[in-house]
Amino acid sequence: MERSFDDAVAAFLNHLAHVRRLSPHTLRAYEGDLGLLRAFLASSKSKGLLDLELLDLYALRAFLAARHQHDSTTSTLRRLSAIRGFLAFCRKTGRVKHSVALLLESPRRPRQLPRSVSVDEAFALCDQPRKSSPSSSGSTDPLALREAAVIELLYGAGLRISELCGLGLGDVDVDARSVRVVGKGNKERVVPFHDVCAAALSAWLSKGRPLVVTAASGDAFFLGARGKRVIDSELRRRLARLGVEAGARARVHPHKLRHSFATHLLEGGADLRGIQELLGHASLSTTQRYTHVDVARLTRVYDAAHPRARTTFTKPAGRS
């Protein structure tokens, strides 16, 4: 019985990796979610729950209830997505007749506005790798050149960190000022970038990458110190440290630069549909989150500028 559950999970993860081409980060998350479900079912009094045909709605609700005190709403929604996707796969492959997960209700996701850095903070962060470089005059620090190129590309093209780490040499055209990106769901898009970003990428290619390239580098565009394709965790750590050194008000992470890319484009007058295409969002509703950020900014501008908004209201005497 246990092996049937494990085999189904293995087949599902293989499907996600090679057919749907989901990112390694998503695969790890789904594997962890289904591992927690398996552990819960195995610890239940009825070991028969590990038989997929005997898995019912009550068991799934009990699992989510048991996780409620530990999980945020976002984690719960992801676990639901993992379970629904897994049981839908099992139904399509004939492992179960019906997917009971379809009857599970989702908690309401709290509306969270994307957090971004200011334009001044973004500029300071872009300049920080050069300032932090320990290289002496006349020498080259390849990692500083890499970090400069990474930050310029995250902020200048709005890439996800997984998209950036997956870039190959043939994906970046410095002369044409564009990068070919394979995003979520294996969807491809081409994103332009500006001249400053092009200069940073060119410096990395000509002066930085040759100093760390090895036989194991392949066609990876961004490399780690040992010459292998750089991993996202390394870039996250470096970016957080550079953010502190640049004086950012809050922790800087790659997705915050993606949010900043979209927010600053919108503030500059860019079309929402165009921003959607640049970000690779499947739905315009996802991109529309940034309109709330812009409205909040406009409200502050309005309150500070409009003469009636700056007028203090005094309640007339005699009115309650």
Catalytic residues: 160, 184, 255, 258, 281, 290
- Residue 112 domain-assigned? no
Q: Is the pTM of this model over 0.75?
A: no
Same domain, yes or no: 163 and 254: yes
**Rounded CA gap, 258 and 151, in Å?**
10
Q: Which CATH number goes with the domain that contains 24?
A: 1.10.150.130
Residue 178 predicted with pLDDT over 50: yes
Give yes or no for a contact between 165 and 148, defined as CB atoms under 8 angstroms apart.
no
- Whether residues 99 and 150 share a domain: the answer is no
3-state secondary structure of 168: strand
Per-residue pLDDT tens digits for 17-54: 988 888 888 899 999 999 999 988 888 655 556 778 87
Pair 139, 285 in one domain: yes
Mean pLDDT of 221-242: 93
Q: Tell me: do 236 and 300 sit in the same domain.
A: yes
DSSP state at residue 111? P
Verify that 17 and 145 share a domain, yes or no.
no
Q: Rounded CA gap, 96 and 53, in Å?
A: 6
Same domain, 143 and 169: yes
In tens, the pLDDT along 236-247 reads 999 999 999 998
Domain span including residue 180:
119-304
pLDDT digits (tens, 9 = 90+) for 194-217: 999 999 999 999 999 999 999 999
Q: Sorting pLDDT into bands at 50, 70 and 90, what band is 1?
A: very low
Would you state the pLDDT for residue 98? 83
Same domain membership, residue 126 and residue 195: yes
Clarify whether residues 124 and 269 are in a common domain: yes
pLDDT on residue 112: 59
**Percent of the chain having pLDDT more than 90?**
37
Q: What is the pLDDT of residue 308?
A: 59
Residues 130 and 246 in one domain: yes
Whole-angstrom Cα distance, residue 159 to residue 153?
A: 7
Considering the domain boundaries, does residue 110 fall inside one?
A: no
Q: Are residues 264 and 236 in the same domain?
A: yes
CATH code, domain carrying 200: 1.10.443.10
Number of folded domains that form the chain: 2
